[in-house]
Structure 1
Amino acid sequence: MSVTSQHSKNRVPSGNKTGRDLFYEVFREYAWKDIEEEIYAKTASDVRRALQNTKRNLEDFKALISPAARPFLEQMAGKSMQITQRRFGKVIQMYAPMYLSNECQNICTYCGFSLTNKIPRRTLTDEEILREADFLKNKGYDHILLVTGEANSTVGVPYLKNAIRLIRPYFSNISIEVQPLDTDEYRELIEEGLYAVLVYQETYHEECYKIHHPKGKKSNFKYRLDTPDRLGEAGIHKTGLGALFGLKDWRTDSFFTALHLKYLQKKYWKTRYSISFPRLRPHSGGLEPKVVMTDSDLAQLIFAYRILDEDVELSLSTRENMNFRNNIIRLGINSISAESKTNPGGYVVDPQSLEQFEISDERSTEEITDMVHDQGYEVVWKDWEKGY
């Protein structure tokens, strides 16, 4: 075992030492190969110990996501459900994405909006944004996620500020999933009413990251990796993390996501955090997953995150199929999307425009709500108010 690997077994994310150290400095202390070997070397005894512990650490998380944990899935599911109900109750929060633009200056091998894809590009006007917002508000949504490609000249901070101003009268909770920004730019958006930012690293394997992001601002691995630090410095209410499963070993990527989470929780303790679980989905001219993550694998990972951290929000999108979503909401997930459209104007303005990726669960908001109620859970449309 290397010095780096031995160090990683006992290390707790140190947070801020100098006042300006960011996650990249912590990240560099861990070697991907060593972490991967440690995860796959975990034994049934390690899994039992992790399940028995009352307070779990990243070593326990390695055991819970390891192949050795497969025979323990039923026990993990029960513990995950118990923890989730104790912390959040029998409720599921609902949100909807609203795509504003498919303009993008990045080349990403797995994305339908990639610069290399010869597709009609579209950015919604003010009137079109309001039409989409009106449709989602009438469906009952109060949590909205604004999504764009990464094109600063078209959908930069001025466009985002305007969009937030337009829809603020409709929704009490506005989040974004857009290009990473600087700290002062996030502060500007927070002043306009921004609540949360989702920024997925895609993969924490630096060389693999470069292969799948060869051009554009997104090709800067370090700048993207340190984005949650800038969000914490800006005072964001909630930050969403995640890796895109299908690019590299999902277990190792998930360890680094958990490491990132623990670092952020310690350093920016006033901020709330969420984890999402996107698996690579088809799109026009798309990349096939290099690593397959099965439904059983995804369930194991969700259970492991919940057992590691009872406070983190675990969110599942319509990328996943109907049966999986029906069964998993009682076992650890506490936030889901419904009736999602991944194309700009996809709800009412231009339903035929090209999607970023194909969704799997195409049920209506009403059907999803009925399913949640049938399982004995309540739907939460609104759990935060700016004035509080």
Structure 2
Amino acid sequence: MGRVKEWVDQVIRPEEISRYLESDGNDFIRDTEIEQTLRENASPDPAYIRDIIAKSKSLETLLPRETAALLNVTDPELIEEMKEAAMAIKRHVYDNRVVTFAPLYMSSTCVNNCTYCSFREENADTVRRVLRLDEVEREIQTLAGEIGHKRLIVVYGEHPDSDVSYIAETVKAIYGAKYPTRKGYGQIRRVNINAAPLSIADLSTLKDVGIGTYQVFQETYHHETYARVHPANTLKGNYAWRLYAMDRAMEAGIDDVGIGALFGLYNWKFEVMGLLAHTRHLEDRYGVGPHTISFPRLEPANNAPGIAESSPYHVTDHEFVRAVLALRLSVPYTGMILTAREDAALRDAVIPLGITQTDASTRIGLGAYAQKDTAQEAHRQQFILGDTRSLDEVVRALAKQGMITSFCTAGYRCGRTGEKIMDALKSGHEGQFCKLNAIITYREWLDDFGSEETRRIAEPIIKEEIREVKRKNPAMYKALISYYEKTKEGARDLYF
């Protein structure tokens, strides 16, 4: 325990909080102002809502009062108009692509004691361990060599055994793993990480090993609730250290960041407003907002003290859809992640409303991809999943809705991140450009991993995508066909 306490005492650096605070010494989340804005826009005029929708279609980030008005819309006709706008925005910015990934949990050791999490320090029922490098490689063999994932979100507990050195070591190991498939090889090409808030120096270390998106969820933006569910004597109890994690990432040169809130800890409308405030803070200070926004709902966790079942802020499916719509319209250019916490039916219904990324074949127990020991799953995982469909099943479901699954990671490796990617997204050019890479990587995945049924359903999608490129981007059509044919012949990892 002495080693752990010594490590904990060195993590938070007060000077890497104070440098970002507002001129009055407070952070940028003003609870009273958010609540007041929601009250002042409780009964929005339909004409005002339609003006906001029009603004959103021009790909402008909305003002707080505009988002508050959208959150308070209950008229079914206006909600349908919001859905139509959300789908149009997503199609304009991201085309009909959906990116898939898998979460990979690396450790269940944690120094925190969050009341809603089975990994909390006081939960004696959770099996505690950190994956060894050989175990990491076995997980990647399954994920990349058998399932066909190209990108991961790698999840680390906050503990000295999974510190920045361990994160860097495992990221390098993941990138280095490569496995034969039916026609080519499987490899993870994009390693995003979900980790604790880190110092600028530690974040610089992770930039050097080539991490993708650095993701930290605030969990709840409501100060009082945050303090109640995150004990003050823990690292996570420091609200400001967590809130300014993205600022430190930007300063360390990591311009690809992801934010999120755990819906169900507090009022869902407040959390959407908090996410907007965080987005606008990053835009104002660094010229670029988050690359992704996540909005998982609170789910039951093994031996957690019943908060998921007893929370007065439970978010219904209808409210969840409204939250997704408000976020899509409020931050039109940002990627939106829908996780396997939700069940398959809801995911299939919500994805067309503006979702750009979703996980598949998800297992969240340590070593669960390679071991597949379901009997012990509850003691190894952080919460209960809603959708356990395979990647093949998710790809097939998306194809049935006319959507193409993109396994592209080219933009990140070509340096199209941060302000560069945001400019392309806001102009609508990124959707057209990434269509080429989506087609190639879709072909690659289908040939290497797709089932016969999925390939049958997907083939018309690919053909239509290629025809659309010929119509709308004839200058790139010849190059696309060249890469496409090479991919069919077995070439891998070709991209524009």
> C-alpha separation between the residues in 2 aligned to 1:373 and 1:105?
43
CA contact (8 A) 1:35 1:252 kept: no
**SS across alignment from 1:315:** strand
> C-alpha separation between the residues in 1 aligned to 2:166 and 2:409?
27
Write the deviation string for residues 268-318 of structure 1: whole angstroms up to 9, x where unpaired. Answer: 235652111110001112322331211111111111122222210001010
> C-alpha separation between the residues in 1 aligned to 2:131 and 2:32?
42
CA contact (8 A) 2:280 2:289 kept: no
**SS across alignment from 1:168:** helix
- TM-score for the superposition, normalised by structure 1: 0.90
> C-alpha separation between the residues in 1 aligned to 2:301 and 2:290?
32
CA contact (8 A) 2:144 2:150 kept: yes
The residue number in structure 2 matching 1:161 is 168
Letter in 2 for 1:242: G
CA contact (8 A) 2:279 2:290 kept: no
Count of residues paired in the alignment: 369
CA contact (8 A) 1:131 1:349 kept: no
* Pair 1:64-2:80 in alignment: no
Letter in 1 for 2:153: L
**SS across alignment from 2:413:** coil
Letter in 2 for 1:262: R
> C-alpha separation between the residues in 2 aligned to 1:41 and 1:199?
33
> C-alpha separation between the residues in 2 aligned to 1:233 and 1:245?
29
User: Which segments of 5 or more consecutive residues in structure 2 lack a partner in the other structure?
Assistant: 1-17, 177-186, 416-496
> C-alpha separation between the residues in 2 aligned to 1:70 and 1:255?
22
Write the deviation string for residues 41-100 of structure 1: whole angstroms up to 9, x where unpaired. Answer: 545454233224354422211111115465522111110001100111111000110001
> C-alpha separation between the residues in 2 aligned to 1:76 and 1:387?
35
Write the deviation string for residues 114-171 of structure 1: whole angstroms up to 9, x where unpaired. Answer: 11111221210000000101111122211111102211x1100111011011011232
Letter in 2 for 1:305: L
The Cα of 1:327 is off from its aligned counterpart by 1.4
> C-alpha separation between the residues in 2 aligned to 1:22 and 1:160?
28
CA contact (8 A) 1:47 1:68 kept: no
Single out whichever of 322-331 and 47-56 deviates more from structure 2.
47-56
Equivalent residue for 1:343, pick from 354, 365, 383: 365
> C-alpha separation between the residues in 1 aligned to 2:381 and 2:63?
39
In the TM superposition, 1:375-386 aligns within 5 A as 375-384=401-410, 385-386=412-413
The residue number in structure 1 matching 2:191 is 174
Write the deviation string for residues 343-362 of structure 1: whole angstroms up to 9, x where unpaired. Answer: 11111146334210011011
Equivalent residue for 1:210, pick from 227, 233, 249: 227
Letter in 2 for 1:347: Y
> C-alpha separation between the residues in 2 aligned to 1:131 and 1:341?
14
> C-alpha separation between the residues in 1 aligned to 2:326 and 2:31?
23
> C-alpha separation between the residues in 1 aligned to 2:65 and 2:76?
17
The residue number in structure 1 matching 2:212 is 195
The residue number in structure 2 matching 1:83 is 89
* Pair 1:228-2:246 in alignment: yes
Aligned pair in 2 of structure 1 residues 57, 224: CA closer, same or farther (>3 Å)?
A: same
Write the deviation string for residues 22-45 of structure 1: whole angstroms up to 9, x where unpaired. Answer: 475322485354244235354545
> C-alpha separation between the residues in 2 aligned to 1:190 and 1:346?
28
**SS across alignment from 2:217:** coil
In the TM superposition, 1:91-102 aligns within 5 A as 91-102=97-108
The residue number in structure 1 matching 2:42 is 40
Aligned pair in 2 of structure 1 residues 40, 150: CA closer, same or farther (>3 Å)?
A: farther
Determine which structure has the larger helix proportion and give its number.
2
Higher RCO (CA < 8 A, seq sep 6+): 1
* Pair 1:363-2:371 in alignment: no
The Cα of 1:262 is off from its aligned counterpart by 1.3
**SS across alignment from 2:303:** coil
CA contact (8 A) 2:260 2:275 kept: yes
CA contact (8 A) 2:266 2:313 kept: yes
CA contact (8 A) 2:103 2:154 kept: yes
Write the deviation string for residues 231-286 of structure 1: whole angstroms up to 9, x where unpaired. Answer: 11112142111111111111012101111111112322356521111100011123
Write the deviation string for residues 190-220 of structure 1: whole angstroms up to 9, x where unpaired. Answer: 1011111111111111111111001420000
User: Which segments of 5 or more consecutive residues in structure 1 lack a partner in the other structure?
Assistant: 1-18
Letter in 1 for 2:382: Q
> C-alpha separation between the residues in 2 aligned to 1:383 and 1:38?
43
The residue number in structure 1 matching 2:261 is 243
> C-alpha separation between the residues in 1 aligned to 2:40 and 2:130?
46
The residue number in structure 2 matching 1:21 is 20
The residue number in structure 1 matching 2:273 is 255
The residue number in structure 2 matching 1:8 is none
**SS across alignment from 2:409:** coil
% same residue: 28
Write the deviation string for residues 172-206 of structure 1: whole angstroms up to 9, x where unpaired. Answer: 21111111100110110110111111111111111
Single out whichever of 349-358 and 158-167 deviates more from structure 2.
349-358
CA contact (8 A) 2:218 2:260 kept: yes
CA contact (8 A) 1:146 1:175 kept: yes
Letter in 2 for 1:124: L
Single out whichever of 28-37 and 73-82 deviates more from structure 2.
28-37
CA contact (8 A) 1:208 1:248 kept: yes
Letter in 1 for 2:200: T
The residue number in structure 2 matching 1:309 is 331
> C-alpha separation between the residues in 1 aligned to 2:34 and 2:82?
26
**SS across alignment from 2:27:** helix
Equivalent residue for 2:317, pick from 262, 271, 295: 295
The residue number in structure 2 matching 1:142 is 150
CA contact (8 A) 2:34 2:273 kept: no
Q: CA RMSD in A?
A: 2.0
The residue number in structure 2 matching 1:124 is 131
Aligned pair in 2 of structure 1 residues 356, 45: CA closer, same or farther (>3 Å)?
A: same
Single out whichever of 140-149 and 91-100 deviates more from structure 2.
140-149
> C-alpha separation between the residues in 2 aligned to 1:211 and 1:337?
30
The residue number in structure 2 matching 1:281 is 299
CA contact (8 A) 1:39 1:251 kept: no
The residue number in structure 1 matching 2:345 is 323
- TM-score for the superposition, normalised by structure 2: 0.71
